[in-house]
Amino acid sequence: MTYNAVETITQKRDGNRLDDDQIRWLIDAYVRGDIAAEQMSALAMAIYFQGLDDAELATWTSAMIASGIRQDFSTLSRVAVDKHSTGGVGDKITLPLVPLVAACGAAVPQLSGRGLGHTGGTLDKMESIPGWRATLSDEEMRAQLDDLGAVICAAGPGLVPADKMLYALRDVTGTVEAIPLICSSIMSKKIAEGAAGLVLDVKVGSGAFMKTPERAHELASRMVGLGQRAGVRTVALLTDMSTPLGLAVGNALEVAESVEVLAGGGPADVVDLTVTLAREMVALADLDVDPADVLASGAAMDVWRAMVKAQGGDPDAPLPVSRHTEVICATASGYVTRLDALGVGVASWRLGAGRTRQSDKVQAGAGVTLHAKPGDRVSAGQPIMTLHTDTPDRFADARAALTDAVTIGPRRLEPTPLVLDRID
C-alpha cells in the first residue's frame, strides 16, 4: 500500500488509528528526509491531541529503534540493568547509583544526556570533573562494563537517530508533553541500549514534567508496558519532585553531594532513593545482595573512582567553584512547610547551571545550595539558601524565581513520602 504524509496527518488529526506499515513507513521516510519537518510537526501536534493507542505506540517505538543500531550486552560477564529518570531538580541519583549497582555485581550501561531548561543533565554534572570525557567508542564502553560494571557516557550517533530528529522538533513545536511521544522517546533509546532490566524513576510534582500523579501514572504504565512487550524486565517508581532532591542543585555542587553519599554521608533523601532504586535494579539482575550493605562497605566509592579515572577524569581534583555567591535568608521564624522544586530549578538555571538551547554552555560551579528543607525549623534572618554564579548580574533574575518558592508556617508538616507508587 502507498502512503503519503498529508493523509497520515489528517487521519490522526481526525482521531483515527494508524496501521503498522503506515507507522513504519512514516518513521523511515522522516529519517531519510522524504517527509518535511513541518509535516512531522503537524503530526506531532495531532498525536498530542488524539494520542496513540497501545498497539500504535508499540509499533511507533519499534520503528524508531529500527532507525539505528541496537546494542547487545548479552555476552557481558554481568547482567546489564539500567535506570532512567524523567528529570527533576537536584536529581543527581545516577551518579552514586551506577557505581553502587556495579559494586553489587551488575553491569550498568548508563547512556545519558545534557540538561535543558530547569532540569539538570547527567553529562553536564560529570563534565564538571576535570578531565572526564563523555564520548566513548563501543569498544571502550564494553571493556569498561566488563572490567568495572559501570559506565556513564553519551549515546553514540547511531542509536535511535529518529529520536534525535523528533526530540528537536518537539522542543520547538509545543509537543514535548505528549505522553505517547515521551514514552517512545525514552523507551526506544532504553530498549535499543540492550539492557536486560530497566528501572524507571518517574518524577511527579512542580519540578517534574508530570505535574499530577494521574499523568505520571499513565506515563509510567505505558512505558512499563513497552519495555515488557520488548522483552525488557521493566519496573517504574513514581517519586516526589515537589521539593528538590538533596541540598545541592547545580553541576559541580551535585557531584560533590554524590561523592558524600558514596563516602557514607549525604542527605537522607538522596541516600534513600539511591538505595531504593539500586534494590530494584539488583532484583532485576537476580543478584542476592543488599545495596545498603554494599554502600556502607565503601565498595561503591571504589567503583566510582575507577569509573572516573577510566574516562580520563581525576577523582581527587578540586571541583569548579563559582566566583560569586549571594545568601538568601528566611523572612520569618517557624517551620519550612514548602520548598518549590520548580522555583529552585529555574533559579539554578538562571544562575548558569542550565541552558535554553542545546548549544548553550553551562557554568560548572553555578547553582543553589539549600540550608533548610520542609520540616526544618528556621529563624528570621537565618540563611536558607546560597546562590552561586560566575556572573553576578544573574542574581536578580534568580531571586525573582524564588519569590514564592519558600513557605514558612507556625507548625511542622509531615514531608511528602519520596516514593509515591510502584508499577510493574
- What does the pLDDT look like over 58-115, one tens digit per residue? 999 999 999 999 998 988 999 999 999 998 999 999 999 999 999 999 999 999 887 7
170 catalytic? Reply is yes
Q: How many angstroms separate the CA atoms of 189 and 166, rounded? A: 13
Q: How confident is the model at residue 176 (pLDDT cuts 50, 70, 90)?
A: confident
Compute the average pLDDT of residues 286-302. 98
Q: CATH classification of 81-310, choosing from 1.10.1510.10, 3.40.1030.10, 3.90.420.10, 3.30.310.160?
A: 3.40.1030.10
What pLDDT does 1 receive? 74
Catalytic residue selected from 91, 163, 269, 340:
163
CB atoms within 10 A of CB 410: 9
Compute the average pLDDT of residues 389-407. 97
What pLDDT does 117 receive? 67
Catalytic residue selected from 83, 114, 170, 222:
170
Burial string for 37-46 (b: 16+ CB within 10 Å, else e) reads: eebbbbbbbb
What pLDDT does 347 receive? 97
What pLDDT does 116 receive? 66
28 catalytic? Reply is no
Fold of 5-51: 1.20.970
185 catalytic? Reply is yes
Q: How many angstroms separate the CA atoms of 265 and 246, rounded? A: 12
19 catalytic? Reply is no
Q: Within 13 A of 206's CA, how many CA atoms are on the CB side?
A: 15
Catalytic residue selected from 78, 83, 84, 190:
84
What residues does each domain of the chain span?
5-51, 81-310, 324-409
- Superfamily grouping for domain 324-409: Pyrimidine nucleoside phosphorylase-like, C-terminal domain (3.90.1170.30)
What pLDDT does 24 receive? 97
Catalytic residue selected from 185, 242, 322, 348:
185
